[in-house]
Amino acid sequence: MNNDPKRPFQCDPEEEIRRARRFTSQEALARMAGPGALKGASPVPREQQAENEIASWLAAHMGDPPGALKWVLCRHLEGTELLLNNLDQPLTALTNYCSRILASDERLKDLVREADVEWGRLMSERPYFDRDDSHPHREDPYTLESVRKTLNHVLESRT
């Protein structure tokens, strides 16, 4: 019991601390989740972790100085069934995706076109698109052959 006449009852120390703090929405969410809600677990969703692992691996292992192809590959894999089925091994999803692209000339052309568009946006320049009736532009960073070679390098690096 408390003998202090100004304080007729003694409060729990945690309760006193809470009373002194301003209540925020973050604190409300933390209270709703309960004690230890994040103990041992990452606050980053598993899907996002897998996407980050792919992006980091591509940045470290894929020769793509402009970076447009890396962004296109990451964007194509985001939220796909291929990735969701391989959350524990996201690089397997990347390998399977690259194999699918290389197996189809149409898919490869679409990927090259998208990489060209992304490159143009990043560099604020007009992209150089491959044409069936002519040789690729000499300054084009993403041609059918260069992207095919890069994707094959990704596959070789993964095996």
For residue 121, pLDDT over 90 is answered with: no
Percentage of the residues of the chain whose pLDDT score is greater than 70: 76
At residue 62, the pLDDT reads 87
State the average pLDDT for the chain. Answer: 81
The pLDDT score that the predictor gives to residue 153 is: 93
Q: Return the SS3 of 128.
A: coil
Q: Which of 47, 60, 67 is nearest to 119 (CA)?
A: 67
* Mean pLDDT computed over 68-77: 93
User: 22-31, pLDDT tens digit by residue?
Assistant: 777 777 777 7
Confidence check: pLDDT of 3 > 60:
no
- Cα 65 from Cα 67, distance rounded (Å): 5
Q: What percent of the chain has pLDDT over 90?
A: 42
pLDDT score for 26: 75
The Cα–Cα gap between 60 and 83 comes to: 20
On whether the CB atoms of residues 142 and 68 are closer than 8 A, the answer is: yes
Residue reference for tokens 């094959």:
152
What number of H helices and E strands is found in the chain? 8, 0
Q: At what angle do helices 90-102 and 46-61 cross, to 10 degrees?
A: 60
| Nearest Cα residue to 69 out of 139, 4, 146 | 146
Token pair 């197996």 is found at: 103
Q: Where are the beta strands (DSSP E) in the chain?
A: none
Instruction: Domain ranges for the chain, please list them.
Output: 46-158
Q: pLDDT: is 19 or 145 the higher one?
A: 145
